[in-house]
Structure 1
Amino acid sequence: MFFLTGEYSHQLDAKNRIRVPFKLKKELGDNYYFAKGTDGCIFIFPEEIAKEQFAKIEEVKMSDAEKRRGIRAFTKSFVLAEEDNQGRVVLPANLREFAKIKKDVVFCGVGNRAELWAKEVYDEYFADDDSNYNEYFDSLGI
C-alpha cells in the first residue's frame, strides 16, 4: 500500500530537470512513471500502481472507439522517470507544456500517486481551499 502525502515546492533547473522530494521518492520507489493527469497536473505513479492502471485498460473492449481513444490518450503520455547520478529527472517537453510548467512547481502526495503542478496553476486551483474543508470532509465521508 502506498501512502504519498504532503506538499513540496521546487523548481526546474535550466535543463528542465526536477528532483522528486525525498519523502515522495521513498514511497515511489526506484521505478516510477510520469503521465498526463487531470485538472492540468502530471500524475506520478509508482510502478506497481502504473501496472494496475494498465491492467484496468486491458479489460476494456477494444470495439468501443471512444474508449480506444481514451486509452491512447492516457497511455501515450506515460514516461518512465530516468534519474541521473544526482537523482534529477528531465521532465519531457510534452508534459511540461501540458501542465504549463515553466520553472516553479509543486509536488503533492495523493495517496497512491503524487501529482506535479505548475505553481501558478496549483495556486489558482486551490485558491478557495481553506474555506471548503467541511464540504470536502463531508463529501469524502470523513
Structure 2
Amino acid sequence: MLTGNYAINMDAKGRMAIPTRAREELVELCGGRLVVTAHTQDPCVLIYPEPRWQEVLPGIQALPSMNSAARRVQRLLIGHACPMEMDGNGRILVPPTLRSRANLDKKLMLAGVGDKLELWDEDTWTTLMQGTSDDEIPEQLETLDF
C-alpha cells in the first residue's frame, strides 16, 4: 500500500527522485517498473506500479467506444501512459506532455493513495488540501468511522 506524502523537487530535465520509503515499496511491488499517466479530472500525474496498471487497463479498454466521455477517459489514461523504470537512484523522467498538463514545475508533492501515487504541483496541492469541497458526500463516506 502506497501511503504518505512527500515534498520533492524536479530538475530542469523533468527528472524526479522517488523518496526512499516509497521507492522501497515500489521495488517490492513491481521491481521499480511503473506506468505514468494523466489523471482524468485533476491536474496531477498518476504513477502506477506496473502490475496494478495491468489490472486497471482492461477495464479502461472495455469502456464503450460510442460514448464520448468514455473515449476521453481512454485517450487521457491510455494515450498518456508511459511505461518506465526507476533508475539506480530511484529517479524517473516525467514526460513533457504530462508535466504541462499537470502544470508541474520544480516544487512537487508526491502522494500515496493506496494502489498508486499522485504527483502534484506543490502550490496546487496546498490549495487543494486547505480548501473545502462543495461536492456531495458519497453515502459510503458517511458510513466510515475514523
TM-score category, normalised to shorter length:
0.7 to 0.9
- Deviates further, 76-85 or 100-109: 76-85
Give the drift of 1:124: 0.6
Supply the distance in 2 between the matched residues of 1:31 and 1:93 (Cα, whole angstroms): 19
Give percent identity, aligned residues only.
27
Give the drift of 1:23: 1.7
Matched position secondary structure for 1:32:
strand
Residue 64 of structure 2: aligned partner: 61
Give the drift of 1:47: 0.8
Tell me which amino acid in the other structure corresponds to 2:15: R
The answer to whether the 8 A contact 1:18-1:88 is kept is yes
Give the drift of 1:138: 5.1
Residue 32 of structure 1: aligned partner: 34
Residue 132 of structure 1: aligned partner: none
Give unmatched runs, 5+ long, in structure 1: 130-134
Residue 107 of structure 1: aligned partner: 110
For 1:61-85, what per-residue CA distance to the aligned partner results, in whole angstroms no more than 9, with x for missing partners? 3343442332122211111124344
Supply the distance in 2 between the matched residues of 1:112 and 1:77 (Cα, whole angstroms): 19
The answer to whether the 8 A contact 1:24-1:114 is kept is no
Task: Give TM-score, length-normalised by structure 2.
Answer: 0.80
- Give the count of matched residue pairs: 135
1:76-91 maps to which residues of 2 (within 5 A)?
76-91=79-94
RMSD: 2.3
Give the drift of 1:20: 1.0
Kindly tell me: are residues 65 and 101 of structure 1, through their superposed partners in 2, closer, same or farther at Cα, counting changes over 3 Å? closer
Residue 6 of structure 2: aligned partner: 8
Tell me which amino acid in the other structure corresponds to 2:110: F
Residue 95 of structure 1: aligned partner: 98
The answer to whether the 8 A contact 1:60-1:67 is kept is yes
Task: Give TM-score, length-normalised by structure 1.
Answer: 0.82
Give unmatched runs, 5+ long, in structure 2: none
